Amino acid sequence: MSYEKVMQANTFIVGTKQTVKALKTGTVQEVVIAEDADVMVTQKVIQVANESNTPVSKVDSMKKLGKACGIEVGASAVAIIQ
């Protein structure tokens, strides 16, 4: 389900560092996290998303999430921008 949201989104940001930056600016509509990503990598994103009351969705695969973003590598976190 969230893969479709990412594919249909007009604007999104890929990667944990960029997602955290975007969360701090308040422009993120929703965050999508890959469950097979390292918890140490995604922990900060989830923390900042919770602090800013941004919904967090989880998907099962980094590889599929990366493919939904149109990139050749896996993605651990994606921010869908308003």
* Spatial distance between the Cα atoms of 1 and 50, rounded to a whole number of angstroms: 21
Strand (E) or helix (H) holding 79? strand 77-81
- Domains in the chain with CATH codes: 2-81 (3.30.1330.30)
pLDDT, residue 60, reads 95
Q: What's the pLDDT band for 82 if we cut at 50, 70, 90? A: confident
d(CA 60, CA 38): 12
- The per-residue pLDDT for 1 is 58
Q: What is the mean pLDDT of the segment spanning 63-71? A: 95
Render pLDDT for 10-51 as a digit per residue (tens, 0 to 9): 999 999 999 999 999 999 999 999 999 999 999 999 999 999
Q: What is the CA angle 3-74-4, rounded to 5?
A: 10
Given a cut of 90, is residue 2 above it in pLDDT? no
